[in-house]
Structure 1
Amino acid sequence: MDKNRNNENTDQQETRHAILDVREVPKIHQWLTLSLQHLFAMFGATVLVPFLVKLDPGVALVSSGLATLAYLLVTKGQIPAYLGSSFAFITPIISVKMLGGPEAAMVGSFLAGLVYGAVALIIKTSGLKWLMRIMPPVVVGPVIIVIGLGLANTAVKMAMNNPHTNEYSLSYFSVALFTLAVTIVCSMYLKGIFGIIPILIGIIAGYLFAFARGMVDLSKVKQASLIDAPDFMFPFVSYTPHFSWSIAFIMMPVATVTIAEHIGHQLVLSKVVGRNFLEKPGLHRSILGDGIGVMIGSFIGGPPVTTYGENIGVLAITRVFSVFVIGGAAVTAICFGFSGKVTALISSVPTPVMGGVSILLFGIIASSGLRMLIDNQIDFGNKRNLIISSVILVTGIGGAVLQFSETLQITGMALATMIGVFLNLVLPGREDDSELLNKMFGVSENDPAA
């Protein structure tokens, strides 16, 4: 009882330090400025994903905004979180597009959203133990490493090659290295709100450097209308969706990994704001809101979304926790998506600029998987852990394919995830679920989420 009272007092003290609490409405003259901070924090990463998978960046901005608004609605306006484009789905989307074009990618995104819904339902009824049974750190960590390193070749090619000839270009590579250098310096030395947006600053600096070297074509920006609808893809209007087991096996396993990351974000966010979001409004609502956001994107032609650590960083620095500020950022993103000038400007960013920031971003993703293994004290002197992680890394990064027919195959990251889950379940010496729960998420068996 005393422990609970102390926790409540701590939460109240942290909340009192908030400049704007979760349900407080900002003053009109502050609202736009505060919302723009969140928009800038997510902007660079969110537009990079459609750039890589060749989807409309305007649609990505609109789907990001709509997904965030839906998330706020599902979580009863109690969790100040912004949803941006997910990097985990880049390789699966590219693989699925090779099978059936962008339409197949939207079907796969919808199926991934259904996984979120199913997981939310099971967590609501059964807690988190079952998730630890199939996706412990020894599986999730290597899969996250695969997500980052699996994209390494893409990042390097974007940085080194002339996109028009697909041949090595020292001139283009110099732009990428300059962009990378600026991004690294900003990450290391900038403080406050500017320390949260090194990707955006790096892209802007790289863009200006590329412009000075004559690599930027602004003709489409000049021709574009100020207000123009992006290239939406509506099912049964723009295309007729078709289910495929190959699409399902490629996209759906990735959702389990992003859900594990989502839970980690909720724990950090709870600590920053001073409230237990896993208990109220509940982890099941948070995951459901994320899944609905993913499905909304699939209905209009946008990539899957996820909660953003950058925006949690903005909350920590500004102490502005208002969901109305987050909602304002979402509405602003939607408005940007309907600006032809903004979309054309994003499309005019040279490939080596994106390649430069991608080298750091994809490396950070891989490193976060390594950090998960370290934080959870995974012992690689244990043969079981060594075998699981080794098989996941080689099958995932190597691009292994399990092909049953021309229309049914399981590839790369999805196959690596499924093999990792299988090995974890069948190999002897599995760690206790309750210990894993506490170690990975800091949730004890007595907590409501467990």
Structure 2
Amino acid sequence: MGEKGKVIYDASVLGWRKMAILGLQHMFAMFGATILVPILVNSYFHGEGLSVQVTLFFAGVGTILFHLFAKLKVPAFLGSSFAFLGGFATVAELKTGIFADMTYGEKLPYACGGIVVAGLLYLVLSLFIKLVGVRKVMHFLPPVVTGPIIICIGLSLAPSAVSNAAVNPILAIIALSIVIIFNIWGKGMWKIIPILMGVVISYVVAVVMHLAGMTNVDGSAILDFAPIASASWVGVQPFVIAKFDLTAILVMAPIAMATMMEHVGDISAISATTGNNFLEDPGLHRTLWGDGLATALAGMFGGPANTTYGENTGVLELSKVYDPKVVRLAAVYAIIISFIPKITDVIGTMPTAIIGGISFVLYGMISAIGVRNVVENKVDFTKSRNLIVAAVILVTGLGFSDGFTFTIGSTAVTLTSLALAAIFGIVLNAILPGNDYSFGENYKGDINRGVSFNNNVEAEADNV
């Protein structure tokens, strides 16, 4: 929309019609990844997981809430966070304490309760940053800690991708191939939405295969259209009220450390893209506060954690339109769609194999971004202290597959592998001498601290 690279900070000069189209573009950029989170969580909870309607509703509401706290200055969209997928998968399979005799649907509110606490941790960090400054806080969360933890998040989900893909390997390969083709060879807007294109095109292929009489490996039908026929066109979101248990909180809450780093990276990326230092004005404490409240609110009523989306940063770079009003239009679109069950039920028929195929690249990319975090921040592994910190995090995060369960009074508490890895990593980094990381010195590295991709801001970062 920006002609010949001309930057536009006030989209009203384009007229409301073009603004509406730009908002639609932002919605499509976030749509594929945002709805994929509840689809994946539903596979963990055997059909009793998150609602696509609720997810879209809180993506829209959360984005607007974020903008209010950011003084309406930051053009960021808040979509579903993939970082919490491992936590959802773990809570779904908890079999200790009160979870021993629960159905999958009964466990979901406790996972959401953990997300509420994770969101509140944002508020704690926000207050701390306001009091002592961002550089001092980030000194305790260097890339040698956050990088390996992000790597663990992706690799811990790998078995889920393989098992889902095995349901129909041909369909999974098609979905994976489409995502790769659009991500590598796509141009313009097509490069920004590889996941959405992977979902849409492979779903069309699945319909053709289904009509041709083909089945999954186990003989089951590829698609089931029955829920779509019975769904209404207009309906209220099926909200779920969060419940709280210490074990579930300890599963979900530590993941906030990774998503808070993702937030810092995305706000840095948006700053580099638009030429505005949003870390200073409105301030990182304000953007964290908005993100945390959006996450806590979503979790309280049965939605996934929210996070700032790198995909939408790519749209900013593509369009050269940096007006936050356009992003707020996308949020309104998401809220409207959340009231249409017919659309969300079509999404709910997504074949498991497609989810598996897309997860191959998605989960692997999460881990790869952890590696990029370490590389671009120039972590020095010739130092023994850095090797020790990273080694302990990786072995703990991948080795304790069943976590560590202990009893406090009469309550069984389970620390998951990721929670243990986060605790060990932060403590080791704090007590071992030689932590020389300083946030802000390597701007390009700081941008790539999050679990996102297609930021498309490398050139701007190099010029900072």
Q: Common fold, TM-score beyond 0.5?
A: yes
Corresponding residue for residue 457 of structure 2: none
- More divergent stretch after superposition (390-399 vs 80-89): 390-399
Would you say 1:219 and 2:230 are equivalent positions?
Answer: no
> What is residue 37 of structure 1 aligned with on the other side?
25
Which of 393, 396, 414 is the equivalent residue of 1:409?
414
Distance 2:13 2:145 in 1: 42
CA distance in 2, matches of 1:404, 1:264: 35
Secondary structure of the corresponding residue to residue 238 of structure 2 = coil
Paired position in structure 2 for 1:189? 185
- Taking the TM superposition and a 5 Å limit, the aligned residue runs for 1:23-172 are 24=12, 27-54=15-42, 55-99=50-94, 100=99, 101-161=107-167, 172=168
Match of residue 363 from structure 2: 362
**How far apart are the structure 1 equivalents of 2:252 and 2:26?**
28
Alpha-carbon contact 2:12-2:19 (below 8 Å) kept: no
Query: Does structure 2 retain, via aligned residues, the 8 Å contact 1:25–1:322?
Result: no
How high is the TM-score relative to the length of structure 1? 0.87
Shift of 1:256: 1.6
Q: CA deviation digits over 1:53-75, x for unaligned, max 9? A: 12111111111111001001111
3-state SS of paired residue (1:258): helix
Instruction: List runs of 5+ in structure 1 lacking aligned partners.
Output: 1-13, 162-171, 236-240, 443-450
Q: What is the aligned partner in structure 2 of residue 167 from structure 1? A: none
Residue identity matched to 1:418: I
Q: Is the 8 A contact 2:109 2:241 kept in 1?
A: no
Note if 1:265 corresponds to 2:266: yes
Counterpart for residue 209 of structure 1: 205
Change (3 A) 1:25 1:223: farther
Q: Equivalent residue of 1:77, what SS?
A: coil
Contact 1:22 1:79 in 2 (8 A): no
Deviation sequence 1:145-181 (CA, Å, 0-9, x none): 01111111111111112xxxxxxxxxx1110001111
For 1:275 and 1:321, the matched residues in 2 are separated by 10
Query: Offset at 1:220?
Result: 1.6
For 1:232-381, what aligned pairs fall within 5 Å after superposition? 232-234=239-241, 241-242=243-244, 244-381=245-382
Is the Cα contact below 8 Å between 2:143 and 2:374 reproduced in 1? yes
Structure 2 residue 171 is the aligned partner of structure 1 residue 175: yes
Given the alignment of the two structures, is residue 389 of structure 1 paired with residue 364 of structure 2, yes or no? no
Q: What is the alpha-carbon distance in structure 1 between the residues aligned to residue 413 and residue 16 of structure 2?
A: 54
TM-superposed deviation, 1:18: 5.1
SS of the equivalent of 1:404 reads: strand
Distance 1:34 1:126, change over 3 A: same
Aligned with 1:344: secondary structure?
helix
Task: Say which SS state the counterpart of residue 134 (structure 1) adopts.
Answer: coil
User: Which amino acid in the other structure matches residue 345 of structure 1?
Assistant: V
User: For residue 452 of structure 2, what is the aligned residue in structure 1?
Assistant: none
CA distance in 1, matches of 2:123, 2:253: 12
| Aligned-residue offset at 1:284 | 0.5
Q: Identity of aligned pairs, percent?
A: 39
Residue equivalent to 1:441: 446
1:93 CA drift (Å) = 2.2
> Which amino acid is the alignment partner of residue 59 of structure 2?
S
1:22–1:154 Cα change, 3 Å: farther
- Normalised to the residue count of structure 2, the TM-score between the two structures is 0.85
Report the equivalent of 1:8.
Answer: none
Please give the alpha-carbon distance, in whole angstroms, between the structure 2 residues aligned to 1:383 and 1:438.
23
Aligned residues: 411
Offset at 1:219?
A: 2.3
The alpha carbon displacement at 1:30 in A equals: 1.7
Kindly indicate whether the alpha-carbon contact (under 8 Å) linking 2:11 and 2:321 is maintained by their aligned counterparts in 1: no
Identify the residue that residue 214 of structure 2 maps to in structure 1.
none
The answer on whether the counterparts of 2:38 and 2:52 sit within 8 Å (CA) in structure 1 is yes
User: What amino acid is the match of 2:316?
Assistant: L
Aligned residue identity for 1:347: G
Contiguous gaps of at least 5 residues in structure 2: 43-49, 100-106, 211-221, 448-464
Q: Aligned partners of 2:441 and 2:414: how far apart in 1?
A: 36
Give a deviation string over 1:122-153, Cα, whole Å, max 9, x none. 11111123433321110000001011111111
Q: Deviations over 1:410-430 (max 9, x none)?
A: 111111111111111122322
1:436 offset after TM fit, Å?
4.7
In 2, are the aligned partners of 1:258 and 1:306 still within 8 Å (CA)?
A: yes
Secondary structure at the aligned position of 2:79 is classed as: strand
Query: What RMSD over aligned residues (CA atoms) do the two structures have, in Å?
Result: 2.0
**Structure 1 position 105, deviation (Å):** 1.3
SS in 2 for 1:409: strand
Amino acid across the alignment from 1:74: F
CA distance in structure 1 between the aligned counterparts of 2:377 and 2:16, rounded to whole angstroms: 45
Moved more, 378-387 or 63-72: 378-387
Q: Who is 2:237 aligned against?
A: 230
Distance in 1 of aligned mates of 2:54 and 2:388: 42
In the other structure, the counterpart of 1:418 is 423
CA distance in 1, matches of 2:352, 2:92: 20
Is the 1:22–1:78 Cα contact (8 Å) retained in structure 2? Answer: no
- Please state how far the C-alpha of 1:288 moved relative to its aligned partner: 0.6
* Number of the residue aligned with 2:462: none
* Alignment check: 8 A CA contact 2:295 2:304 kept: yes
